[in-house]
Structure 1
Amino acid sequence: MRIFGKALLKIGQVAETTGLSKRTIDYYTSLGLLKSERTAAGYRLYPEDVVHQVQKIEYLKTQRLSLQEILASFTEREEKTGDVIYQEVQQLQDTVKGLERRLLESTEFEKQEIRLELSRRLTLIASLIAQL
């Protein structure tokens, strides 16, 4: 279906294309992770780029981000430019390098804490990269 020149997908088409259930798509929409428009008959229609958005969400979930964290990252993304995101990734990479150096010189107890912090930082990097 096309409205004003842009392709719109029904929820069933989104479900079929992404492999998610209609219920999951409804849930993501209710959280604000996905945007839809309503027809006069009350049907929800999604822009074509919803498929890409779902792929981002599913990827970030594999990186152990909660849906609330994903929503926050999407909201922040709308406010940030690519240059700002790139700078944040660079800063996080510098932090990761420092943590890796510390890991080599640490006791077993310290290594556990450093690994946890490394995991957090790498997850943040993945989240930022997904926003680009």
Structure 2
Amino acid sequence: MGKSLFRIGQVAKLSGLTPRTIDYYTQHNLLRVQRSSSNYRLYSEEALLTLEKIKKLKNKGMSLKEIKKDLHSEEASVVAIREIEDRITDIHERIESLNELPEAEKQRVCNMLETKLTKTLTKLSEL
């Protein structure tokens, strides 16, 4: 998604929620907010997606405490996935550099990288 930022009134119109509800969710750390130089609250497009998820979870009967836990665990999973993707990128870069090494050294590095990749994938499967 883009980098559009919306004031609370715009978010209310787009989400179908009241500014008071959005403010409540913001105060309870369910939504991330930025402040403009004029001190307006600015919400990203991601906040709109989060509001949709909150509405769906509330319709399923979840409490705000449960919703907050769900949102934060999802956020932690996203961070972990990004870290794993970074590790995989690093491994691919190392593999590319193997072409310059003698064959025995290539095999040793490949084995080491395979071990690291296996550990990383195991961590991912535990999420």
Count of aligned pairs between the two proteins: 78
SS in 1 for 2:72: helix
Kindly, what percent of the aligned residue pairs are identical?
44
Of 6, 9, 13 in structure 2, the residue corresponding to residue 9 of structure 1 is 6
Aligned 1:1-132 pairs, distance under 5 A: 6-80=3-77
Q: Rg bigger for which structure?
A: 2
Structure 2 gap segments, 5+ residues each: 82-127
CA RMSD of aligned residues (A): 1.7
CA offsets per residue over residues 24-71 of structure 1, 9 Å max, x none? 000000001111100121100000122111110000001111011100
CA offsets per residue over residues 86-119 of structure 1, 9 Å max, x none? xxxxxxxxxxxxxxxxxxxxxxxxxxxxxxxxxx
Structure 1 gap segments, 5+ residues each: 85-132
The offset of 1:80, in angstroms, is 2.2
Q: Which has the higher contact order (CA 8 A, sep 6+)?
A: 1
Q: Give the distance between the partners of 2:57 and 2:15, measured in 1 at CA.
A: 15
| Structure 1 runs of 4+ with >2 Å offset | none
Q: Give the distance between the partners of 2:10 and 2:32, measured in 1 at CA.
A: 15
